[in-house]
Amino acid sequence: MAVNPPQSGVGEPGSDEEIVRRVCAGEEALFEVLMRRHNQRVYRAARAILRNDVEAEDVMQDAYVRAYEHLRNFEGRSRFSTWLTRIAVYEALARRRRSQRLEPLAALQEEGLMATSSSSNPEQQLSDVEIRALLEKAVETLSDDFHAVFVLRAIEGMSGAETAECLGVSEDVVKTRLSRARRRLREALLESIEPSLPAVYEFHLSRCDRVVAAVLRRIETP
């Protein structure tokens, strides 16, 4: 499920750590390579916590600026991507705390997201686009903690250790949250598709007639 499309950009001059070393040595322009390389992950990490595209982009900018300013503090104890993601996660968590103080009722506006599609044709309903929409809706129903773990682990493909480090929790907590997030996703998806389940593998009247006729022919002609 992990999707990490290669980022386009300014050539690929070596490992992250190598680029960090060169940026610190004065090649500031190379920082763009790091940004392009990790845009996807940083965006998903920020959005996993904030659930808002615009705010996620703001956090990305803040995180990149902060990372650039503190690049010399990167000691290489973890991968650069983990270090960068952790900065974005901390920025996002701080922003979420601020917004929760200011708008404690904002979350109530999210109610009603799980309204089910009324499409009656299961084949249409199960098209790729709709499956993706169902998945996204289901993921959005997860609690904040489960949502963040699920996005980082299952979608972004980070390891348990990386996710734990980014979110500031133990690996055990990541494992449990991921397991429960998956279970809840299954339940949410089942809830959203159940109304159309009776139509799945429907034994159409014409096929019924055909089978009955064939059986009758075989019975009647020994």
Partner DNA sequence: GTTATCTGACCATCCTTGCG
Partner DNA sequence: CGCAAGGATGGTCAGATAAC
Point out which residues bind DNA (CB under 7 A). Answer: 143, 145-146, 153, 159-161, 169-170, 172-173, 175-180, 182-183
Contact 51, 40 (CB under 8 A): no
- Nearest distance from C-beta of residue 15 to DNA, angstroms: 21
Nearer to DNA, 60 or 166 (CB): 166
Nearer to DNA, 38 or 177 (CB): 177
Contact 10, 45 (CB under 8 A): no
- Nearest distance from C-beta of residue 110 to DNA, angstroms: 15
Nearer to DNA, 14 or 168 (CB): 168
- Nearest distance from C-beta of residue 176 to DNA, angstroms: 3
Structure tokens at 194: 């159940």
Q: How far apart are CA 63 and CA 55, in angstroms?
A: 12
Nearer to DNA, 100 or 170 (CB): 170
Contact 177, 144 (CB under 8 A): no
Nearer to DNA, 19 or 167 (CB): 167
- Nearest distance from C-beta of residue 154 to DNA, angstroms: 7
Nearest to 79 by CA among 145, 33, 17, 139: 17
- Rounded to a whole number of angstroms, the distance between the first and last alpha carbons of the chain is 55
Q: How far apart are CA 164 and CA 171, in angstroms?
A: 5
- Nearest distance from C-beta of residue 150 to DNA, angstroms: 10
- Nearest distance from C-beta of residue 33 to DNA, angstroms: 27
* Secondary structure class of 115 (helix, strand, coil): coil
Q: What is the distance, to the nearest Å, from the Cα of residue 189 to the centroid of all Cα atoms in its chain?
A: 16
Sequence-distant (≥ 6) Cβ neighbours of residue 91 within 8 angstroms: 46, 59, 62, 63, 66
Nearer to DNA, 39 or 141 (CB): 141
